Amino acid sequence: MAGAGPRVLIVAGEVSGDHQGALLARVLRRCRPDLSIAGAGGVEMAAAGVDVLVDSVRWGVIGYVEAYARLPVFALRFWGLVRLIERARPDLLVLVDFPGMNRELARHFAGRLPMVYFVPPQIYFRRGRTAARMARTAVRLLAVLPFEAEAYRSAGADVVFIGHPAVDAAQEDAGSAGRLREEWGLLPGPVIGLLPGSRVQEIRALLAPMLAAARELRAGGGAQFLLPVASPFLRSQIQRAIARVGCPVRLVPGRALDVMRVADIVVVASGTATVEAACVGVPMVVAYRLSRLTDWIARRFVVTPDVYRVGFSIPNIVVHRRIVPELLNAEVNGARIKAEVERLLAAPEARAQMRDDLAEVRRRLGPPGVLARAAEETLRVLDSPRGVTLR
């Protein structure tokens, strides 16, 4: 972490965390060019000027059973990060998303190091005492969803609602849909975006049924398909899946938001991409799959019954009603995805209503300037009088 200015260490995990960490790092650099920023992340953080000491983009695991099976690996990575942070002795530790790892790092360094947590663990519609435990860690939480901020505040946590970074991303001028159609050689007719996620497990679980639906939709109505590849390490896995199905799908390196801008409908894995789709205003069908045992554990011990009434996707949770269709587990199959997409394609009024509902989601996610507010809060903690030092 060589540099003349204060030392900031960012810990992000998975592709999405690398992306969010890069966004924050760029704004921090603009605000304070003297900062020395290092951390755990990936290629996006490196491109943003972060000295990436550990590549953590492939560390994600979906499911409780799957995570338990990898506890020894988790422990090795956790203690490796602890040693890294202790050697670096940063002036500020910035945790970005990645709740399984970063929640434990926050507890470990509580009272030893000033900390900011950008995109803290989700607690809404969740059982347990995560909010109370985070409140005891003396970390500034930068919540990106309004109801998460309220839940943390009720537990006594030091939390600020800054808004969701997707609000800023959707504001960026990327050109018209017409220009994008020309760039990608798209013909007149419906364009469907396929977004199966950014984790290997998500691709394995969701891409095959998405492609099965795409094959039937193309045969029946000549639809065209775009798939943004979230990270280069996923490309070969995606290409093999497409070859098995035999359906023409144009792969786009990254640029998920541009795919959303040009698409008539997107079929999207539950997660951050649904928030981005809401901010762009594109109608969507949300899909997700869990193992049977993980699903049973979640229903029995983790989530509250409200999640099955309101929905599990963030757009539905934000407005507290079902505005986008959701498919979960056994419902995620080619026939069901095809039916949901055809229903929306055949009903312009339904798509218009969904766009209106998504505009309400976007309004509730806060005004533009999210990353500027995140950087302001981060620097406020960095510049505040330090009552703790790493020892």
The pLDDT of residue 301? 80
Q: What percent of the chain has pLDDT over 90?
A: 79
pLDDT score for 309 = 86
Residue 378, pLDDT > 70, answer: yes
Q: Tell me, what's the pLDDT at 211?
A: 97
User: If we measure between CA atoms, which residue out of 302, 301, 318 comes closest to residue 310?
Assistant: 318
Residue 369 has pLDDT above 90, yes or no: yes
Q: Give the residue, 124 or 349, on which the prediction is more confident.
A: 349
* pLDDT exceeds 70 at position 172: yes
- Per-residue pLDDT band at 190 (split at 50, 70, 90): very high
Task: Note whether 142 and 195 are same-domain residues.
Answer: no
User: Is 256 part of any domain?
Assistant: yes
Q: Are the beta carbons of 21 and 102 closer than 8 angstroms?
A: no
For the residues 98-118, what does the mean pLDDT come to?
Answer: 95
Mean pLDDT of the chain: 92
Q: Do 126 and 85 lie in a common domain? A: yes
Structure tokens at 107: 């507890």
Kindly state the average pLDDT of the residues 335-342. Answer: 97
Do 373 and 361 reside in the same domain of the chain?
no
Same domain, 376 and 355: no
Query: Which position has the token pair 């989700």?
Result: 122
Q: How much is the pLDDT for 125?
A: 78
Residue 345 lies in a domain: yes
Q: What is the mean pLDDT of residues 233-259?
A: 94
Residue 63, domain extent:
7-163+367-383
Residue 388 is predicted with a pLDDT of: 54
Phi, psi (degrees; rounded to nearest 5) at 294: -60, -40
pLDDT of 280 strictly over 60: yes
Q: What is the pLDDT of residue 138?
A: 87
| 4 has a pLDDT exceeding 50 | yes
pLDDT of residue 124: 81
**What's phi and psi for 117, nearest 5 deg?**
-120, 105
Both 128 and 198 in one domain: the answer is: no
Does some domain include residue 74? Answer: yes
CB 150 within 8 A of CB 123: no
The CATH number of whichever domain residue 326 belongs to comes to 3.40.50.2000
State the Cα–Cα distance between residues 110 and 139, nearest whole angstrom. 7
Q: Radius of gyration of the chain from Cα atoms?
A: 21
Same domain for 42 and 104, yes or no, is yes
At 389 the pLDDT is 53
The token pair that represents 225 in the structure block: 């398909």
- Domain for residue 157, yes or no? yes
Contact 327, 286 (CB under 8 A): yes
CB 22 within 8 A of CB 48: yes
> Among candidates 88, 75, 80, 78, which has minimal Cα distance to 10?
88
* Mean predicted confidence (pLDDT) in 369-378: 97
At residue 31, does pLDDT exceed 60?
Answer: yes
Q: What is the pLDDT of residue 192?
A: 98
Domain-located, residue 389 = no
Spatial distance between the Cα atoms of 370 and 156, rounded to a whole number of angstroms: 23
Give a yes or no: residue 391 inside a domain. no
What are the tokens at 160? 């600020």
Looking at the chain, the whole-number percentage of residues with pLDDT higher than 70 is 97
Same domain (yes/no): 53, 159: yes
Same-domain status, 30 and 136:
yes
pLDDT at 68 over 80: no
What's the chain look like in SS3? CCCCCCEEEEEECHHHHHHHHHHHHHHHHHHCCCCEEEEEECHHHHHCCCEEEEECCCCCCCCHHHHHHCHHHHHHHHHHHHHHHHHHCCCEEEEECCHHHHHHHHHHCCCCCCEEEECCCCCCCECCCHHHHHHCCCCEEEECCHHHHHHHHHCCCCEEECCCHHHHHHHCCCCCHHHHHHHCCCCCCCEEEEECCCCHHHHHHHHHHHHHHHHHHHHHHCCEEEEEECCHHHHHHHHHHHHHHCCCCEEEECCHHHHHHHCCEEEEECCHHHHHHHHHCCCEEEEECCCHHHHHHHHHHHECCHHHHHCCCHHHHHHCCCCCCEEEHHHCCHHHHHHHHHHHHCCHHHHHHHHHHHHHHHHHCCCCCHHHHHHHHHHHHHHCCCCCCCC
Q: What is the pLDDT of residues 290-309, one digit of tens each?
A: 888 888 887 888 888 888 88
Tell whether 192 and 207 lie within a shared domain: yes
pLDDT of 216 = 94
Indicate whether 209 pLDDT > 60: yes
Q: Residue 352 pLDDT more than 90?
A: yes
- CA torsion angle 26 29 35 41 (round to 10): 10
Residues 80-100: pLDDT tens digits? 999 999 999 999 999 999 999
- Residues 20-43, mean pLDDT to the nearest whole number: 97
Statement: residue 387 has pLDDT above 60:
no
Q: Is residue 168 part of a domain?
A: no
More confident residue, 172 or 101: 101
Q: Total domain count for the chain?
A: 2
Q: Residue 2 above 50 pLDDT?
A: no
Average pLDDT for 361-385: 96
Q: Is residue 1 part of a domain?
A: no
pLDDT value at position 220? 79
CA dist 74 and 286 (Å) reads 29
Q: ∠ at Cα 250 (248, 253), nearest 5°?
A: 150
Mean pLDDT over 7-11 rounds to 98
pLDDT over 90 (residue 215): yes
CA distance 224 to 187: 8
User: Do 98 and 209 lie in a common domain?
Assistant: no
